[in-house]
Chain A
Amino acid sequence: MIGSLATLLLFQLAGEIIVRLTGAPLPGPVLGMILLFLALVLRGRTPSVFADTSRGLLNYLALLFVPAGVGIISYLGRVADEWLAITVTLVASTALAVVVTAFTLRALTSRGRN
């Protein structure tokens, strides 16, 4: 498990370093994810200890967003002034994005799968 955590952190570190060296418009962890994905695909199979540790971490993914979410406390004034427009825009735009993405993908893949 320690080895798995170290691997995740090393891939993140590699991502951060490459982003800083190249100025790529991506956060380090996302590049780290891409690098790890390539490594796992090239290797052919994921060691089960590593898979378990990663899944363990992903089980708590939702919790990890709470500290940043509490940051809303610094913008309560602005949010109170514009809450209706912000809410309508967020909900409508998110709903549209979900529906457009899901139906586009289904329309393009359903023939191949059925």
Chain B
Amino acid sequence: MDRLTQIWVYIEETPLLWLALTLCVFWLAQQLYRRLGSFALLNPVLVSVIVLVIVLKATGTPYADYFDGAQFIHFLLGPATVALAVPLAAQAAELRRYWLPITIALTAGSLTAVASAMCIGWALGLDSQTLLSMLPKSVTTPIAMGVAEQIGGLPSLTAVLVILTGITGAVIGIPLLRLLGLHDPVAKGFAMGVAAHGIGTARAFEHSERAGAYSGLGMGLNGALTALLVPLLVWLFGL
């Protein structure tokens, strides 16, 4: 075996390659996004996922091999979710004041997210397993996967649909609200969290810390509500 082959065998076996590549691709995607004036469709998560899928396809690498390296990044989602409590605690006084409007807006938004996906997807003739996998799309990945499993969807497809929903919300959410004349950072942030979970929250933090804090709140609350709501709706409509 010549040396180059030996080196390649080594690289293929360590998690280092895919970990380093994920960081590099994301860093470049972020530079691109900033250089081009934060153009919404160039969302760094979206660009990174597309580039990495092309690289994996081109090199014939199975997702499991990629994830062996990338899992170290994935793991940090847990502590990052816990860390959302910090910006949230900074808004504690305002939360106490607005608990009722927040509860009502949460319920309206959560119902809209699930019911509209159910109606539109059904009307467009989505395969029933795809549709079930899509219902918990607005909440953070671990909750959504648990719900999908409970109602007979495909949890790993759900994980992907959740990410796509987050990217969609991050791309269209703030421009859409601006177009409709809504400029309140609290309403904007909360809506991003309810509709587009952590990716929406990451986008809301770019807008302002206040919007990000409310987005984290919306994400946490909607996670809990959706876990109760989706199985109930599925049972009611006999899906």
Contacts and interface: CB of A to CB of B under 8 A. Distances in A.
Contacts of B164: 72, 86, 90
Contact of A65 (B52, B191, B198): B198
A53 to B, nearest CB: 8
B77 A64 contact: yes
B177 A102 contact: yes
A67 B74 contact: yes
Given A70-B49, A98-B173, A93 B113 contact: yes
Interface residues of B, number: 108
Contacts, number: 323
Q: Provide the main secondary structure of the chain A interface.
A: helix
A86 B85 contact: no
Contact of B218 (A71, A94, A101): A101
B132 interface: no
A71 B73 contact: no
Contacts of B120: 88-89, 92-93
Given A25-B146, A70-B53, A64 B102 contact: no
A105 B186 contact: yes
Nearest to A9: B79
Given A82-B130, A89-B121, A93-B137, 19 more contacts: A11-B82, A37-B88, A37-B89, A58-B86, A58-B87, A61-B198, A63-B23, A65-B141, A68-B159, A86-B164, A93-B112, A94-B138, A98-B173, A98-B176, A102-B184, A104-B109, A105-B105, A109-B186, A112-B98
A43 to B, nearest CB: 9
A27 B223 contact: yes
A85 B112 contact: no
A26 B143 contact: yes
Contacts of B166: 65
Interface of A: 5, 8-9, 11-12, 15, 25-30, 32-37, 40-41, 46, 50-51, 53-55, 57-76, 78-79, 82, 84-86, 88-106, 108-110, 112
Nearest to A45: B89
Nearest to A101: B109
Q: Provide the main secondary structure of the chain B interface.
A: helix
Interface string B135-166: 00110111100110000000011011101111
Contacts of B20: none
A29 B134 CA distance: 22
A46 B97 CA distance: 20
Interface stretch (B1-9, B34-42, B64-72): B64-72
A25 B112 contact: no
Contact of A63 (B26, B89, B142): B26
Identify the interface centre among A15, A54, A102: most chain B CB within 10 Å of its CB: A102
Interface of B: 22-23, 25-26, 44-45, 48-49, 52-53, 56-57, 63, 66-67, 70-71, 73-74, 76-90, 92, 97-98, 100-102, 104-106, 108-110, 112-113, 116-117, 120-121, 124-127, 130, 134, 137-138, 140-143, 146-147, 156-157, 159-161, 163-169, 172-173, 176-177, 180, 182, 184, 186-188, 190-192, 194-196, 198-199, 201-203, 205, 212, 216, 218, 220, 223-224, 227-228
A39 B85 CA distance: 9
10 contacts: A25-B224, A26-B227, A29-B142, A41-B89, A46-B86, A53-B83, A64-B77, A70-B70, A109-B184, A112-B98
